[in-house]
């Protein structure tokens, strides 16, 4: 019985270690270039996108999940030096499809010697697509940046609530099994005598 309890304890510790891994909750600021969801690479070209809402959080920077509806500053860093001498523009469309969505903002292509393309737009709750384009073509083949404005991310909710809850339930179940075990009753009887 002691081996079973040791094995169950080791299983619980392993589960807790996996569920509460410190690197699993890294925010945008703590990711490397390759893991950064705001970085896009198309061939040799690299761009980086950030959205800011200083009226809500002065230092907050967002990429795909914008926490509040309202005025939003959009900033695209043209990391690739060749893009700085090429006219680059940005369109923001409400929805996930440029052809069917409502155009919210259109910053016409122009050169950006400092490597920064800036825009300000008012975003309501919902999905938006940010499209970066040169005068000749879109810079990216896939949906560029899909913004979720003031929406619940159910995947994140499950990771932050349901998984730890399952861990607590597992520990409670193992505790129940331990309390109901004959080994514990025998041990308790020996202590009482």
Tell me the C-alpha to C-alpha distance, in Å, between residue 108 and each of 4, 42, 101.
68, 21, 18
Angle CA 152–35–166, to nearest 5: 50
For residue 4, which of 180, 188, 193, 189 has the smallest C-alpha distance? Answer: 180
The answer to whether residue 110 scores a pLDDT higher than 70 is: yes
Determine whether 184 is exposed, middle or buried from the number of CB atoms within 10 Å of its CB (0-12, 13-18, 19+).
middle
Q: 34-49 pLDDT, tens per residue? A: 678 889 876 678 899 9
Say which residues have a Cβ less than 8 Å from residue 193's Cβ, sequence separation at least 6: none
Q: 2-26 pLDDT, tens per residue? A: 455 445 444 544 444 444 443 333 3
* pLDDT averaged over every residue in the chain: 79
Identify the pLDDT of residue 50.
Answer: 94
**What number does CATH give the domain 35-151?**
2.60.40.1930
Q: How far apart are the first and last CA of the chain?
A: 21
pTM over 0.85: no
Question: What is the dihedral angle through the alpha carbons of 26, 27, 31, 33, rounded to the nearest 10 degrees?
Answer: 150
Confidence label for 119 from pLDDT (cuts 50, 70 and 90): very high
């Amino acid at each position: 019985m002691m081996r079973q309890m040791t094995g169950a304890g080791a299983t619980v510790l392993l589960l807790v270690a996996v569920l509460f891994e410190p690197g699993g909750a890294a925010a945008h600021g703590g990711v490397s270039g390759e893991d950064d969801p705001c970085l896009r690479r198309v061939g040799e070209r690299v761009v980086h996108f950030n959205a800011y809402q200083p009226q809500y959080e002065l230092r907050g920077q967002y990429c795909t999940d914008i926490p509040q509806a309202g005025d939003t500053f959009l900033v695209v860093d043209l990391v690739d030096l060749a893009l700085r001498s090429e006219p680059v523009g940005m369109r923001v469309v409400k929805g996930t499809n440029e052809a069917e969505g409502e155009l919210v903002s259109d910053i016409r292509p122009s050169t950006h010697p400092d490597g920064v393309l800036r825009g300000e737009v008012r975003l309501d709750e919902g999905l938006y697509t940010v499209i970066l384009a040169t005068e000749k073509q879109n810079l990216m083949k896939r949906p560029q940046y899909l913004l979720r404005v003031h929406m619940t991310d159910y995947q994140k909710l499950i990771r932050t609530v349901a998984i730890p809850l399952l861990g607590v339930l597992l520990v409670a179940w193992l505790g129940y099994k331990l309390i109901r075990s004959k080994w514990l009753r025998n041990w308790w009887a020996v202590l009482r005598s």
